[in-house]
Amino acid sequence: MSLGFRSVGACAITRRATVLQLRRSGGGVARHGYVLDVIGSFGMGSGMPASRRGTGSVAVRAGSALARRPADKLRLWKMMVQLRAYDERATLLQRQGRIGAYPTFWGEEAIQAAAVLAVGDADWLFLSYRQNAVPVLRGLPPEQAWAYFRGDPRGFFDPSQFGCAPQCVPLATHLPHAVGWAVGRRLQGGDEVALAFFGDGASSEGDAHEAMNLASVLRAPVVFLCTNNQWAISTPLSRQAAVDHLSARAAGYGMPGVTVDGYDPLAVLGAVAEAVDRARSGGGPSLVEASCYRIGPHATADDPSLYRDEAEAALWREREPIGRFERQLQEEGHLATQDIIEEHERAASAMRDAGHRLDRMPVPTGEEMTAHVLAVPPPSWPRSSAPTLATAEQ
């Protein structure tokens, strides 16, 4: 394998930005040779500390029409605000003992919202635990999503209704599911695309390798979206990967790869939209790495001050994506200060109401808790509508 590196464009410290993309090499350096480019464009420039330089600052690809339309920019912003309100309310619910341990995603809203906007309504999303709010963007009531964290079976939903596979807590186990679903739909004559979220920690799992390898061999219509927030619980990226950019691994699978600034919603939108279009048109899978920083804890039960310098997290908090995007939209004349205040208040109020609806949910009975665990429950379990051995055999 030969991997070249070429830089085109400006430094991330300026108001310009860069995007890292793997493209096929015209020089024929290897059968699956790719060149890693740094392509300059406009952006919001975050500037990554030297101690945690997983990517530069990134801009949207010039060819993304979605990222240029004011209406789509405003829709994207509102989705991000909705996610922020969801996450902050969920954290509050956990602190009050109204739900159990909860995996926060504060600061990763740009990645999740942009991905949902980039795919089509019929495309499916495959989620890990940190994307538990993504189905809410597709219509799932927030209180139903939160019920999952109370161990309430009402926290589950019909995947076909929302185009979202059930969230997987074990790392990377859902990536082969995405490949299987995508290949199956292609065999059925569909043109849908699967988008699979995963993190930098999951990228080290065997399931991730197997899924990306098989997807490339079968040219499956899958977009692998890696949220590289630099921390796999307490393990920094430098202790689990020898590459600066996880997207460089795409070359080993013979697929395109790109690294974007995960705090720049337009960068993520442009890269994911391009990968979705490529997959839908028969171009096979892509790996999109959205590089950011896990500003908060791994989950509400975690204390990150035990293993990292929280001053670094504070630095990144100043660069969180919603405030940056709002400033850009104001500069472009799409938003006024009052618009921002009202949208945040509306989203917070909606999530507060959802929390009250969660409180009004009845405590699940033993029958409800066990109804879908085993096909044939033992006699000692609470009576349920699950099939008996006789009906199961029929």
In one-letter notation, the amino acid at residue 65 is A
pLDDT at residue number 370: 83
Which of 134, 75, 89 lies closest to 109, judged by CA?
A: 134
What is d(CA 143, CA 203) in angstroms, rounded to the nearest whole number? Answer: 31
What is d(CA 210, CA 179) in angstroms, rounded to the nearest whole number? Answer: 10
- The catalytic position among 307, 327, 372, 383 is 307
Q: Is residue 1 classed exposed, middle or buried when 0-12, 13-18 and 19+ CB atoms within 10 A define those classes?
A: exposed
pLDDT at residue number 379: 84
Q: pTM of whole model > 0.95? A: no
Domain positions in the chain? 3-364
Q: Is 298 a catalytic residue?
A: yes
One digit per residue, pLDDT tens: the chain, 394 residues? 333 322 222 223 222 233 344 333 333 322 233 333 333 232 333 333 333 333 323 333 433 566 678 999 999 999 999 999 999 999 999 999 999 999 999 999 999 999 999 999 999 999 999 999 999 999 999 999 999 999 999 999 999 999 999 999 999 999 999 999 999 999 999 999 999 999 999 999 999 999 999 999 999 999 999 999 999 999 999 999 999 899 999 999 999 999 999 999 999 999 999 999 999 999 999 999 999 999 999 999 999 999 999 999 999 999 999 999 999 999 999 999 999 999 999 999 999 999 999 999 999 888 888 888 888 888 888 765 544 444 444 4
168 contact partners, CB below 8 Å, separation of at least 6: 126, 127, 128, 129, 174, 177
- The catalytic position among 130, 174, 249, 298 is 298
Three-state DSSP string of the chain:
CCEEEEECCCCCCCCEEEEEEEEECCCCCCCCCEEEEEEEEEECCCCCCHHHCCCCCCECCCCCCCCCCHHHHHHHHHHHHHHHHHHHHHHHHHHCCCCCCCCCCCCCHHHHHHHHHHCCCCCEEECEHHHCCHHHHCCCCHHHHHHHHHCCHHHCCCHHHHCECCCECCCCCHHHHHHHHHHHHHHCCCCCCEEEEEECCHHHCHHHHHHHHHHHHHCCCEEEEEEECCEECCEEHHHCCCCCCHHHHHHHHCCCEEEEECCCHHHHHHHHHHHHHHHHCCCCCEEEEEECCCCCCCCCCCCHHHCCCHHHHHHHHCCCHHHHHHHHHHHCCCCCHHHHHHHHHHHHHHHHHHHHHHHHCCCCCHHHHHCCCCCCCCCCCCCCCCCCHHHHHC
What is d(CA 332, CA 327) in angstroms, rounded to the nearest whole number? Answer: 9
CATH placement of domain 3-364: 3.40.50.970
Task: Say if residues 20 and 261 touch (Cβ distance below 8 Å).
Answer: no
- The catalytic position among 89, 174, 294, 319 is 294
| CB-CB neighbours of 349 under 10 Å | 11
Q: Which pairing describes strands 3-7 and 34-42: parallel, antiparallel, or unpaired?
A: parallel
Q: Which pairing describes strands 235-236 and 231-232: parallel, antiparallel, or unpaired?
A: antiparallel
pLDDT at residue number 64: 57
Structural Rg of the chain based on CA atoms: 21
Query: Six-digit token pair at 380?
Result: 């000692």
Q: Is 294 a catalytic residue?
A: yes
What is d(CA 353, CA 143) in angstroms, rounded to the nearest whole number? Answer: 9
Q: Is 263 a catalytic residue?
A: no
